[in-house]
Structure 1
Amino acid sequence: MLLHPGFDPVAIELGPIAIHWYGLMYLLAFGCGWWLGRRRARQEWRGFREVDVDDILLYIVLGVVIGGRAGYMLFYEPLRLLENPLSLLMIWQGGMSFHGGLIGVLIAMAWFAQRRSRGFFEVADFIAPLIPPGIMAGRIGNFINGKLWGAPSDLPWAMIFQDPIAGDIPRHPSQIYEAFLEGFVLFVLLWWFTQRPRPLMAASGLFLAGYAVARILVEFVRIPDAHIGYLAFGWVTMGQVLTAPMLLAGVVFLTLAFKGEKGR
């Protein structure tokens, strides 16, 4: 059994300015994606320049922040949004959704592709391996804040989170599971997969399917938001419902990609 360190959510205080760990994790995510993207752009066969990475980063930052917040309010707190539409802007109160952020990134990529006269999947396949490190950083931020913990567990690495709702019960450190599976493992898989030219849509399909499998599995040991709970059968969560279409889309994209490759 382990004890959560109980980190101070504020990493740095500069007078009246407080910089939170979660915010730093977002900066780390964007910085890592930018660095990896520029590395990929140096390989001429990819058809991207380093300056393209610089430009698309702005689109993606806007997509993540706006989409993540809007998605959280729509998926997880729609009643609060109806009662107070301005709550959509209250980012400092917490609440970001991966699925909303993903939708925002998809819109950002479509916008970038249209402005640069590129195909959507051409952009999406290039960006796909850059996303998992950002997911990993976000999940580490969840762990530092002691949020999104898992179900009770008697495993040797079960952890007691210093949270009044979690209580003194050892629980799955589900944030670490997600950081490892959705972040590290998925990144290694995608980085390896894209080291040589692949059919259009293949990298995007692998990202969607890989993330979906990891997220759906971890949701079985992650406690859902208290105000939502389980949606059906005592185990189906909102996260699984939102992720299931990603799995379907990923399988379809992979099938179409390699079917088209065989037909050439």
Structure 2
Amino acid sequence: MLMAIPFPDISPEIFTIRLGDFAFSLRWYALAYIVGILIGWRLATAAAVRPTLWPNDSSPFTAKDVEELMTTIILGIIIGGRVGYCLFYQPAYYLANPLEIAMVWQGGMSFHGGMLGVTLGGLVFAWRKGISLLSMLDLMSIGTPPGLLTGRLANFINAELWGRPTDAPWGVIFPGQAAQDCAGVAVGMCARHPSQLYEAALEGVLLLAVIVFLAFRRGWLKRPGQICGIFLIGYAVSRMLVELVRQADPQFITPDNPMGYVVQIGGAGLSMGQLLSLPMLAVGAALILNARSR
């Protein structure tokens, strides 16, 4: 008998307001972005207004700087996340249908693309304000894990980005034909790894706890680049581990490549998430080594 957890009866929509033919719905995914950004903003502000945390006991930021930075971050998340998804995961389709790139309501966001968008926005903001780029990246790294946590929880509620089939007792029976399309498993009884919750725990809770401890208790902000480095390493390691049990995107899966690897080495390989995380791992290590050498 299959030991698994039925998917909870949670609608992706929190509520819907209808006015004639017009309907407005507040979705958990949108709320996750809002809550994650607000928590990240409060954490970043708490760090910015404490001068003793920064080099020479002088914070390079004011609370107003953090508020202005939020607009840049939001635009970077939305634009970078969407463009990154289109280029990294379905480039051929979106190059053939470029108008659909702007249709964010159809779904499809990439963390790696969002990170590049936020980093680019941070570069411009730091240059315009005359702020240390490394300290800017450290500040943004403090505020990012809450958004990862709420975003992955929203992925779970939406029953998307689930893991591979499993017979573990904590496997979840996700709804939908795609989730139940498991070779050799009876329809309606295919349990999968709740990989969204794994990522929420690692990228959100654990990484947030490590960063807050190092920034607020161990003085890691005094050497610019260290907090950003630990964030990049923490995210990369977490993502690469979870990718071991996460279902690959369907466009990468073929009869000759059932695991959906984008780089194959014999019987093993790397998923797109793992491949994109490798540069983060290298850059994170370089940032910490550079900060320590100074």
Q: CA deviation at 1:254?
A: 1.0
Distance 1:7 1:78 in 2: 32
Q: Report what 1:254 is aligned to.
A: 288
Distance 1:12 1:50 in 2: 34
Classify 1:6/1:242 alpha carbon distance in 2 versus 1 (closer, same or farther; 3 Å): farther
Q: Report what 2:5 is aligned to.
A: 2
Distance 1:108 1:51 in 2: 17
Is the contact made by 1:80 and 1:87 (CA closer than 8 Å) also made in structure 2?
no
Instruction: Give the counterpart letter for 2:244 in structure 1.
Output: F
Q: Given the alignment, which residue of 242, 245, 261 partners 1:230?
A: 261
Is the contact made by 2:231 and 2:284 (CA closer than 8 Å) also made in structure 1?
yes
Is the contact made by 1:36 and 1:130 (CA closer than 8 Å) also made in structure 2?
yes
Is the contact made by 2:37 and 2:146 (CA closer than 8 Å) also made in structure 1?
no
Q: CA deviation at 1:79?
A: 1.2
Alpha-carbon RMSD across the aligned residues, in angstroms, is: 1.2
Q: CA deviation at 1:198?
A: 3.3
Q: Given the alignment, which residue of 36, 56, 59 partners 2:43?
A: 36
Runs of 4+ displaced beyond 6 Å: none
Q: Please, what TM-score do these two structures have when normalized by structure 1?
A: 0.95
Distance 1:6 1:191 in 2: 34
- Return 5+ residue gaps in structure 2 as ranges: 181-188, 253-259
Instruction: Give the counterpart letter for 2:210 in structure 1.
Output: L
Higher Cα Rg, which structure: 2
Distance 1:41 1:249 in 2: 24
Equivalent position SS for 1:18: strand
Is the contact made by 1:129 and 1:187 (CA closer than 8 Å) also made in structure 2?
yes
Q: Report what 1:174 is aligned to.
A: 195
Q: Please, what TM-score do these two structures have when normalized by structure 2?
A: 0.86
Equivalent position SS for 2:144: helix
Distance 1:85 1:30 in 2: 29
Instruction: Give the counterpart letter for 1:212 in structure 2.
Output: A
Distance 1:9 1:165 in 2: 17
Q: Higher helix share goes to which structure?
A: 1
Q: Percent identity, please.
A: 40
Q: CA deviation at 1:7?
A: 2.2
Distance 1:68 1:250 in 2: 20
Q: Given the alignment, which residue of 149, 156, 180 partners 1:143?
A: 156
Distance 2:178 2:112 in 1: 25
Instruction: Give the counterpart letter for 2:261 in structure 1.
Output: Y
**1:82 lines up with 2:95 in the alignment:** yes
Give the 5 Å matches for 1:87-102: 87-102=100-115
Deviation per CA, 1:99-128: give whole Å up to 9, x if none: 000000101110110110112111011221
Give the 5 Å matches for 1:1-264: 1-15=4-18, 16-45=23-52, 46=54, 47=59, 48-167=61-180, 168-195=189-216, 196=219, 197-228=221-252, 229-231=260-262, 232=264, 233-260=267-294
Aligned length: 260
Distance 2:31 2:15 in 1: 10
- Return 5+ residue gaps in structure 1 as ranges: none
Equivalent position SS for 2:157: helix
Equivalent position SS for 2:26: strand
